[in-house]
Structure 1
Amino acid sequence: MTPKPTQLSGAKFLASRPYALLADLPRVGKTGSTIIAADYVMAETILVVTTASGRGVWKRGFPAWSAYDRSVQVMMGGAKLDPKIPSAIVSWNGISQAALRVELLKRKWDLVVPDEVHFAKAFSAKRTQALYGTLIDDGAVLNKTSALTNTTERMWPLSGTPLPNSPADAYPMLRALFRERLTTNFGPTDVTEQSKFIERYCKMRPMKIGHGFMSRYIDVFVEGRNLEELNARIAGIFLQRTQRDVGILEPDYETMPLIAPKALPPELRDQKRGAQILEAARTGDRSSLEMHMGPLRRLTGEIKAGLVVEAISEELDGALGKVVIAYWHKDVGALLMDGFAKYGVTGIDGSTPPKRRAENEQRFLHDKKCRVFLAQIQAAGEAIDLSSASNLVFAESSFVPKDMAQMAMRVCNHTQATKPLVRVATLEGSIDDSLQSILLRKWSAIREVLKS
């Protein structure tokens, strides 16, 4: 593969530092940059921690981007390290399994690459502890004895969304890899302890969850504070480029209003419930949003599925070449699969095995008769290329802007000649119609912040 200039500069950035975050946005080329950088530092033993979907991407990536004939082992199940194969790829779930992690701890790694490192955003998660270690005394001490950080002196985390929820998500990486950044050498106060870091950079509010004697309160992020100070702490340890920096055309975004041929069920027009749902969406109260909208979500999706099939089939019968349809519920995916069967359809959901994922991706990219790709948002939002289509329709959406942004970028690539179009289907006259408008505005605001 011929690297882009941004990939070469990204590789140079990584190779010049033992610890660094490459935060390029999706489709910019983090995988290639990292493998080229591994060549620069002549790393022999390399461990990549990635998503289930990313395992195949990295396995193909090493021969595509490395100047060396690298052998790579994909670690799954009860696999043992092959002493003849110097490098390995493992999933985030894999490092959470004690037996597999013990196997990985046997080797000293020249380089560890935590891909999609936002999966390790909280020390309460087993995968974070497996990567970085376990907090003691609120972070005054970090026990790395059984963590992968104890096996290497070079780690390059990767993520286009390193702070998926709040500034608090930065703490685990900073505490494990950049301890000095939390001291008074880089700010007016020492924020080594987790509670002090969160208090300094996050405004939180208590929120009640559950009912009766089972109820409890949790702290919910409201907004960031002292962010200029936090920016100063992290300056120089990360590099981020956007799709525009590498010549990728950014999508246009719009809603796709759908009109049902008969009256909608009354629960989808309930004004009282609708007011609760819209207030939760406006305030970012995801728990309340799930509680009030959850029961209606599948019903809404099933109604929209039929309308999306009708609308997009008309376009496929016209000038539309290929299209990606994103959805949330498996039942909705099944309806879409039946509806688009005559157009040649493939896709990925949570049950698709890794080998089949790669096959389905390649089929959609290269088979002209395969015109529809069905993408379950959480399963297909990362590490795949669907850029043979320049149209994506969200038949259902996620309440998390990050999920939507990552899914949208699947149809973007530097080879894309047509400006992509991303449409969010809405059910006119329903609670869903107003909800999607709010979520789309929030999503748009986040994109504007990232641009600036």
Structure 2
Amino acid sequence: MLDAVVHSVHCPDIHLIYTLNLTGWIAAVIPYPHQIADGRWLADRATALNASDCRTGKTGTAIIAADMILAVRILVVTTASGRAVWRKAFQEWPAFPRSVSIDPSVADVQILSWAGATQAEKRAALLKQRFDLLILDESHAAKSFDAARTCSVYGDPRSAGDEVAAAVALRSRAAVVWCLSATPCANSPADLYPMMRSLCPERLAARGDMPDVLSHAAFMDRYVITRPKRISRFRSIDVVVGGQNLEELRTRLDGFVNRRTQADVGIRAPIYETLPLLVSEKQRRALDNVDTIALLKAADEGDTKALEMHLGPLRRLTGEIKAKAVVEAVKEALDNGLDKIVLMAWHTDVILALGLALMDRGVAFIDGSTSAKHREEAEQRFRDLPNVRVFIGQIQAAGEAIDLSAACELWFVESSFVPKDMAQAALRITNHTQRRQAFVKVCTLAGSIDEALQSSLMRKWSAIREVLK
């Protein structure tokens, strides 16, 4: 497939495909060498996963690979905020132009949100079409067959995973399917099962000393550690707490997954630190009014429901206390020479409190209600205007498809209970244009249960890529 593209421009140098083709159409972006190499790797595979770190250029790499296989009809499934990013990328990256639209249409490239994939009308319109290529961006969104979006994309499992009915799944409409995700197993190896069962089932079959793990039960028994959790006097459920036989699972994935870290492509990794904040004795006592043992156990086991149950009533209070302390620390940092800073939080009222208190320093912000247009404007203002020195983002809403590398420091005022949210948000301040050492700081309330909880979450955060190491 690659040779056909090279011969079509009568040139052995693949770089020239992205600078000038025979029609004289000039691409707006020149790729990095690793993107061309990774594009070649993708182009050689009908199904694959690009699991490279955030900010390493997976979007451009996928478009380069699409050009290499001469894919014209392309369906992209991505996050709601990622739709505008992909539309812009298809205007700048391709070696030949394609028409682009958001949502189903007659355009060459159609870009759909993960939520849109579950909407009957949109899905029906797409199932009537054929595509050369399906790109599943942020593919960890389809990590469980219990979710409608997973079944919409991959198919409906039958007989506990022994079969997957894919006739009315989006993957059945494309000859080639590529997944993109920096965190494909965000919580445990269990997250990999739907993708592997659907796109490379042969890798789950028995071979050598490795058993057959095609069924969901067999996969879980082999690669996932669970513990029973009692939810009533008479009933308990299994809770995923980690992985096992990971070297064997890596062997199964070999050749299906391509991964580059930020360090591999010349991006310096952030330095991670905690930032203790002093609180009054009265505030500390209020925060410690919680079942400490149960809370830390839930954090270690990744039990987000239990975390919300034990911490929920105090979580907003924790954020509000932190916000007041963070404002003082941010103003001091800016007054002492820091040019720009990114603050990430969870609750809307915490974001609002930070924004109001720091308004005089110039603020741009994004939360879950921010439209795609205003999202782009906020990103641009923070990047281009020297007097906009503070960016405040909601961890999930501002954790993907955004470049905040105008700043070299990011502080988590609040944390997410899902480690991959933190991992992705942290890398918003790193890319090839970042010439300074990036620092990511997790704010903690010194001497309180919050300090112990954040330490537990940071340990999980640092371990989520173990399978792909």
Q: What does residue range 264-413 of structure 1 map to in structure 2 within 5 Å?
A: 264=283, 266-270=285-289, 273-413=291-431
Matched, 1:249 2:268: yes
Cα offset for 1:450? Answer: 7.8
Match of 1:70 in 2: 98
The one of 238, 243, 252 aligned to 1:233? 252
Match of 1:175 in 2: 197
Distance 2:37 2:52 in 1: 12
Distance 1:266 1:245 in 2: 46
Q: Is the 8 A contact 2:405 2:430 kept in 1?
A: yes
Q: Using a 3 Å threshold, how does the CA distance of structure 1 residues 451 and 194 change in structure 2: closer, same or farther? A: closer
Distance 1:35 1:420 in 2: 28
**Deviation digits for residues 332-355 of structure 1, max 9, x if unmatched?**
011011011111111111111112
Q: Is the 8 A contact 1:46 1:111 kept in 2?
A: yes
Matched, 1:104 2:131: no
Match of 2:4 in 1: none
Matched, 1:263 2:291: no
Q: Is the 8 A contact 1:255 1:426 kept in 2?
A: yes
**Deviation digits for residues 310-342 of structure 1, max 9, x if unmatched?**
110122223011100000011101101101111
Q: Using a 3 Å threshold, how does the CA distance of structure 1 residues 199 and 262 change in structure 2: closer, same or farther? A: closer
Q: Is the 8 A contact 2:52 2:182 kept in 1?
A: yes
Please, which runs of 5 or more residues in structure 2 have no aligned partner?
Answer: 1-28
Match of 1:7 in 2: 35
> Paired residues, what number?
441
Q: Using a 3 Å threshold, how does the CA distance of structure 1 residues 14 and 302 change in structure 2: closer, same or farther? A: same
Equivalent position amino acid for 1:206 in 2 = P
Distance 1:160 1:446 in 2: 10
Q: Using a 3 Å threshold, how does the CA distance of structure 1 residues 4 and 371 change in structure 2: closer, same or farther? A: same
- Give the TM-score normalised by the residue count of structure 1: 0.93
**Deviation digits for residues 158-208 of structure 1, max 9, x if unmatched?**
111111111121111111111211212465322221111111221222212
Q: After the TM superposition, which of the residue ranges 356-365 and 113-122 deviates more from structure 2?
A: 356-365
Cα offset for 1:269? Answer: 2.7
Match of 2:156 in 1: 134
Distance 2:435 2:86 in 1: 26
**Deviation digits for residues 118-167 of structure 1, max 9, x if unmatched?**
00011111100110100111122211121011101100111111111111
Q: Using a 3 Å threshold, how does the CA distance of structure 1 residues 132 and 445 change in structure 2: closer, same or farther? A: closer
Please, which runs of 5 or more residues in structure 1 have no aligned partner?
Answer: none
Equivalent position amino acid for 1:301 in 2 = G
- Give the TM-score normalised by the residue count of structure 2: 0.90
Equivalent position amino acid for 1:300 in 2 = T
Match of 2:85 in 1: 57
Distance 2:448 2:39 in 1: 49
Q: Is the 8 A contact 2:189 2:467 kept in 1?
A: no
Equivalent position amino acid for 2:51 in 1 = A
Match of 1:37 in 2: 65
Equivalent position amino acid for 2:81 in 1 = S
Cα offset for 1:262? Answer: 6.5
Distance 1:281 1:178 in 2: 33
Cα offset for 1:439? Answer: 2.2
Distance 1:46 1:442 in 2: 36
**1:68 aligns to what SS in structure 2?**
coil
Q: Using a 3 Å threshold, how does the CA distance of structure 1 residues 384 and 450 change in structure 2: closer, same or farther? A: farther
Q: Is the 8 A contact 1:114 1:158 kept in 2?
A: yes
Q: Is the 8 A contact 2:187 2:419 kept in 1?
A: no
**1:157 aligns to what SS in structure 2?**
strand
**Deviation digits for residues 242-294 of structure 1, max 9, x if unmatched?**
00011111111111111135631633133x62333233334444332221112
Match of 2:217 in 1: 195
Distance 1:144 1:187 in 2: 30
Aligned CA RMSD, in angstroms, stands at: 1.8
Q: Using a 3 Å threshold, how does the CA distance of structure 1 residues 371 and 242 change in structure 2: closer, same or farther? A: same
**1:111 aligns to what SS in structure 2?**
strand
Q: After the TM superposition, which of the residue ranges 61-70 and 234-243 deviates more from structure 2?
A: 61-70
Distance 2:271 2:230 in 1: 39
Distance 1:145 1:173 in 2: 16
The one of 232, 237, 248 aligned to 1:218? 237
Cα offset for 1:217? Answer: 2.8
Matched, 1:26 2:44: no
Cα offset for 1:412? Answer: 0.5
Cα offset for 1:451? Answer: 9.2
Distance 2:335 2:390 in 1: 12
Cα offset for 1:88? Answer: 0.6
Equivalent position amino acid for 1:22 in 2 = N
Q: Is the 8 A contact 2:52 2:58 kept in 1?
A: yes
Q: Is the 8 A contact 2:346 2:414 kept in 1?
A: yes
Cα offset for 1:407? Answer: 0.7
Identical-pair percentage? 50
